Amino acid sequence: MPSASQQIMRLGFGFAVSQALRVIIELGVPDLLAVGERSVDELAAATQSDADALYRVMRLLAPEGIFREVAPRHFELTEIGAVLRSDQPGPRDFVSMINSEAYLAFEQLLYSVRTGKPAFDKVFGSPRFDWLSEHPEQAALFQRAMVALSQGSNEAVAEACDFRPFTRIIDVGGGHGQLLSAILARNPHLSGVLFDLPSGVAAAHEGAGGDLPRTEFIAGDFFESVPSGDVYVIKKVVHDWDDGRAAAILRNCRKAMLPNGKVLVAETLVPPGDEPNQIKGIDVVMLAVTGGLERTEAQYASLFDAAGLRLERVIQTRGPISILEASPAYG
């Protein structure tokens, strides 16, 4: 069993594995190994890389289950590594995204801990989403990464909610539109509105998230206003913002909703206790990159209260994501 010092050392080297994944994705190594094992020399020639350097990176990733060294300096792709191929829907875009500008911001995590402010703004000179609006290639990668990160969760949300009482659904910050597409496919009586910044609306228009029948595409700023409807779905948006900004989004939904309207916030709740959970890592990324946070159920209840809403119930899905259903707290 590793000693305490060895375990700490392994944790400290986590950045090396993360960046090594980004490098082999950018070089296209998983695609080259899709047809079978190859030597490092062949891979290096195909990727215009230094063979010895590439070997060292692949040797690092082999114990992590990405590759298998079947003979000296010969590797094959594992089942885990196969999800990094370009023809497979999976986390490759998320790995590339999180290990680029977000990674650089995270180096200044101490700044965020001392100030409570996002390090991204300090490193890049503007907030994360403002920066993305000025860098279309990175914005497109971000949208693809969100599609990858949302695998399974959009379907889980769509099937867990009963949309029969509603007629017009507003997907606030809907981005690529994958969630709205899943909901509309299950509820042919609904019309939809995909509401987001221009980059998100463009991704939805291009079909990044699937078919969007009966949908109106509206670009705008949810801190200013949102379109009118009787049910608002806000998935993985509220966690991007601090309490003041998050409450502003919810408050605008409260103002715009039709009578008997509902707000459905789909987020992964931070569980109690100290068991390992991916959401705790994402929470610290939110701290450094966007200034947002992952929240407990009690924290969401307080947030709704600040926006003139009342948490009615928490709907569990078949995935780790939950749906917090809120109604107006007053008439």
Active site residues: 239
**What are the structure tokens assigned to 304, written together?**
């709704």
- pLDDT computed for residue 284 by the predictor: 96
DSSP state letters, 195-236: EE-HHHHHHHHTTTT---TTEEEEE--TTT-----SEEEEES
C-beta separation of 323 from 297 below 8 A? no
Q: Where in the chain is the domain with CATH 1.10.10.10?
A: 4-84
- pLDDT computed for residue 331 by the predictor: 59
**CATH topology assigned to domain 4-84:** Arc Repressor Mutant, subunit A (1.10.10)
Return the CA Rg of the chain.
22
Residue for token pair 């609306």: 201
Q: Where in the chain is the domain with CATH 3.40.50.150?
A: 148-328
CATH number of 148-328: 3.40.50.150
Query: What distance in Å separates the CA atoms of residue 39 and residue 153, rounded to the nearest whole number?
Result: 38
- pLDDT computed for residue 17 by the predictor: 97
Residues of the chain falling short of pLDDT 50: none
